[in-house]
Amino acid sequence: MKISIVEIGEPLPLEENVRLLRYGNFCRYLASKGHEVTWWTSSFSHMPKKHLVDSTQKITINGHNFWILYGGGYTSNVSLARIHHNRVFARKYSVMARQEEKPDIIISPLPTIENAMASLEMAQEWKIPILTDIRDEWPDEIVNLLPWLLRPLGRLALGSSFKNMKAFCRQVDGIMAVSMRQLNYGLSFAGRPQNKSDHVFPLGYPIVEVEKTQLENAQKELQEAFNPGRFQLNVCFFGTLGRYFEFDSLAQAARQLPDVGFIVAGDGDKREALTKHLIEGHTEAVIDLVEFHHRG
């Protein structure tokens, strides 16, 4: 089966020292099952905020194809520049995909709605099925960044995004999601109950082969971080250090609980600010920032 996947934002296997996420692993899995997979993506890498290539090109890695479309970029995740980047990509994708042999099915995850609407138009034109995949509660998550009193204005400003979400979810052939909550979120836009074409598709990762020395070093680092005699209690956070997590409370708790150890593991846009915020001005508490790397 020829499968076309339209996703921008996740790490690509051509990047060094990255952990592949949902679609990096999914594409590799589909290719291993004999499917012909083409992943349409952007030259601009979301996490490091840089271009991976300097021109539009098609490459093959891990048994599946990548169409990497050059252009755009942004410095802030929530910005007009990112919206412009998404729209430019969707226009390029819409033109170039029509020059390729049509796929048997399109998978267009949300976000972004710009890619999704372009994919829907082509799927209807080619009379092929299209699936979406709800990964975030977008665009509500943008509205929820605002103070309570401003959220009605936020929904009004994003009126076209909510309208497009409703139109898209009502016309796709099936909805996937990372959890039941996200599936219900997509179905709320579709305005219908779950049917046999809608599924929860949980996050999953392949088994990683770890060298003995890597394992020994990791165990030593963890033993030092979780030294049972150092604190009465250890509180851990493992995840993305992004804007959707509220870390101010963590700093306040650390200041008031000097006998509690706080271990934060992860990376993201707020890593630098979080490190400074946790360490500076909070000498009463000892806070460790531990960074784990996946080297596969």
User: What pLDDT score does 277 carry?
Assistant: 64
Contact 4, 107 (CB under 8 A): yes
R_g of the chain, CA atoms, integer Å = 21
Query: Helix count (H) and strand count (E) of the chain?
Result: 10, 13
- Cα-based distances in Å from 165 to 44, 121, 191: 24, 14, 11
Residue pair 275/264 in contact by the 8 Å Cβ criterion: no
Give, for all 296 residues of the chain, the pLDDT tens digit.
Answer: 999 999 998 999 888 878 888 999 999 999 999 999 999 999 998 888 889 999 999 999 888 999 999 988 888 877 888 889 999 999 999 999 999 999 999 999 999 999 999 999 999 999 999 999 999 899 998 898 889 899 999 999 999 999 999 999 999 999 999 999 999 999 999 999 999 999 999 888 777 777 888 888 878 877 776 666 677 787 887 777 776 677 777 777 777 777 787 777 777 777 777 776 665 544 344 444 444 333 22
How far is it, in rounded angstroms, from Cα 187 to Cα 74? 31
Tokens of 101: 């042999």
Predicted pLDDT at 261: 77
Residue 237 is predicted with a pLDDT of 79
- Confidence at residue 285, expressed as pLDDT on a 0 to 100 scale: 42
Question: What is the reported pLDDT for 225?
Answer: 64
The confidence score (pLDDT) of residue 293 equals 35
pLDDT at position 280 is 52
pLDDT value for 220 = 82
Residue 243: predicted pLDDT: 65
